Chain A
Amino acid sequence: MDLMTRLQNVDSRVIYVILLIALSLPLLFPMGIPMQVDPMVRAVYDIIEGLDPETDKVLLSMDYSPGAGLDAEVSPVAVVEHLTQRGIKWVAISFGTPDGPMMTNRIIDSLEQRGYEYGKDFANLGYMAGEENAIRLFALDCLSVPTDVRGNRTADLPVMQGIKNVKDFAFVMQFSSSGPEMWIRQVVDPMGVPFATGTVTVSVPAIIPYYHSGQVKGIMGGVSSAAQYELLCNNPGRGASLMDAQSMGHLIIILFIVLGNIGYFMTKDKKQSAGS
């Protein structure tokens, strides 16, 4: 087998090993490649910067599971960190997956270890079954969830004081591994609540029309958006640390695609000249 044919048939295991090395090295030896901030990410940052910690509260719909990997998990951590820095109170609830409350608990555990108070600064209302209908039900009556994940009465939580329906939240953000269509249909359009979404990178292209129509005020797409957000907050965290690895991973994939095509064209030319 000549070199050009080999270029087209590189063993998958070789690709896996090279990719693993390309992903691992930047994690061990960070390069700090400079990043540009996407306007969709800056929009989320600007909304939260514009909130008043004294009066405004934020609702987070945590609709992702560990199955969506770090791509879904890093953005909510970055946003919650920003809310915490600014002293803005927030409430989390899940409609998309029963895993949502567990994902929220992870964030809450880290905040409680740093002295923030559950119930006063934030709360986790758990999972509400019914997806789109549940969103509508909660939007019209936020006390339709009788208790939070710790068994406290929702109406008694200090963070829920003054909250009757979703319009009482200054900003709503959904984190999921899919799209925000249900929120747009049931809350954003009929109730006019400012809304942004965080999702995995592959889902961003499908959400773009809602961003340009103004229904979604900002989009955070995966690890790269989280890294940019951390940069805006001057608080580099997990997202920023993963970006060098992502860059190297993309370069390796592009390199193999280019090599495969070089091999394809060279052998194609040979076959054509042999045939003529």
Chain B
Amino acid sequence: MRKEAPLLITFVVALIVMLSQVTTGNVPGLGISMPVLFERYISPWMTVVSAFSLCLASVNLIVIHSRNVSRKQPEWIYSLILLGSLVLYGAWCTYVQINPDNAAAAATYSLLYNNILSPLMTGQWACLAFYVASASYRAFRARNLEATVLLVSAILVMLGATPVGGVIWSKFPVIQRWLIDVPNMTGQRALLIGAAIGSFVACLRTMLGIERSHLGIGGGS
């Protein structure tokens, strides 16, 4: 029953979702259509599950990092900082949500967010510019035909995407546009269609119970 019940739920829910996309008439005996059944009874559950998964992620973080701190594992101080930040942010945000009229608490929360978390995250992103510069210098070598095509395309796109490219030669933006609109789009469409077919097959395997790894009871047959 531990295997059959989750598989049955998966099958029934997946069937409702699939049928809700292709049928419009009422389900015999229920008096409502498949789309309504899905949107009224199945879809809201996903929001609940997603919200729950956020809680689960927090609990997981607390368990792992508390263990690091209690066992004084290497770099445990970072785990302590993470736990402190998590508790401070979580508690403060909860207080702000419960007391929306307390403007001072909301302002302080924004202050913490805008002046500590946000600059750290933005700084991390900005550092990528330096890594990308160094990595492209080392990786973009015209070693063979494929690498040369990649190298030339990259330079043309970089020049066309910035104002200075248009100043150097007015055709750079035109060439960049063509590269994005024609070869890029062809490749992207092929990827999208391939991924969509792959997703459909994976969904079908899950629905039919061939793929069971998500239930923690082993892989496919």
A209 and B185 in contact, given A33-B164, A250-B159 (Cβ under 8 angstroms): yes
The residues of A that contact B180 with a CB separation of less than 8 Å are 204-205, 208
- Check A65–B138 contact: CB distance below 8 A: no
A261 and B133 in contact, given A34-B166, A208-B188 (Cβ under 8 angstroms): no
A23 and B129 in contact, given A36-B166, A105-B110, A212-B185 (Cβ under 8 angstroms): yes
The residues of B that contact A204 with a CB separation of less than 8 Å are 180
Please tell me if A247 contacts chain B, counting CB pairs below 8 Å.
yes
Please tell me if B126 contacts chain A, counting CB pairs below 8 Å.
yes
Q: Which interface class (under 10, 10 to 19, 20 to 34, 35 or more) fits B?
A: 35 or more
- Check A66–B158 contact: CB distance below 8 A: no
The binding surface of chain B is classed by DSSP as: helix
Interface string of A221-254 (1 = CB under 8 A from B): 0001000000000000000000110111111111
Interface string of B78-92 (1 = CB under 8 A from A): 000000000000000
- Check B163–A136 contact: CB distance below 8 A: no
The residues of B that contact A224 with a CB separation of less than 8 Å are 161-163
Please tell me if B100 contacts chain A, counting CB pairs below 8 Å.
yes
Please tell me if A107 contacts chain B, counting CB pairs below 8 Å.
no
- Check A261–B140 contact: CB distance below 8 A: yes
Nearest B residue to A109 by beta-carbon distance? Answer: B110
The residues of B that contact A65 with a CB separation of less than 8 Å are 121
Nearest A residue to B39 by beta-carbon distance? Answer: A140
Please tell me if A68 contacts chain B, counting CB pairs below 8 Å.
yes
The residues of A that contact B164 with a CB separation of less than 8 Å are 33, 247-248, 250-251
Contact of A33 among B49, B155, B163 (CB under 8 A): B163
Please tell me if A3 contacts chain B, counting CB pairs below 8 Å.
no
Please tell me if A21 contacts chain B, counting CB pairs below 8 Å.
no
CB distance from B199 to the nearest CB of A (A): 11
A129 and B47 in contact, given A70-B122, A151-B101 (Cβ under 8 angstroms): yes
Interface string of A180-201 (1 = CB under 8 A from B): 0000000000000000000001
The binding surface of chain A is classed by DSSP as: helix
The residues of A that contact B151 with a CB separation of less than 8 Å are 257, 261
- Check B167–A133 contact: CB distance below 8 A: no
- Check B167–A19 contact: CB distance below 8 A: no
Please tell me if B124 contacts chain A, counting CB pairs below 8 Å.
yes
- Check A209–B130 contact: CB distance below 8 A: no
The residues of B that contact A106 with a CB separation of less than 8 Å are 114
- Check A243–B137 contact: CB distance below 8 A: no
CB distance from B138 to the nearest CB of A (A): 7
- Check A247–B163 contact: CB distance below 8 A: yes
The docked-state distance in angstroms from the alpha carbon of A19 to that of B189 is 35
The residues of A that contact B134 with a CB separation of less than 8 Å are 12, 15-16
Interface string of A99-114 (1 = CB under 8 A from B): 0001001100100000
- State the A residues within 8 Å of B (CB): 10, 12, 15-16, 19-20, 23, 33-36, 38, 65-71, 98, 102, 105-106, 109, 128-134, 136-137, 140, 147, 149-152, 201, 204-206, 208-209, 212, 224, 243-244, 246-254, 256-257, 260-261, 264-265
13 A-B pairs with C-beta separation under 8 A: A35-B163, A38-B177, A130-B49, A133-B46, A133-B50, A147-B100, A208-B184, A244-B163, A246-B162, A247-B163, A252-B133, A253-B136, A257-B136
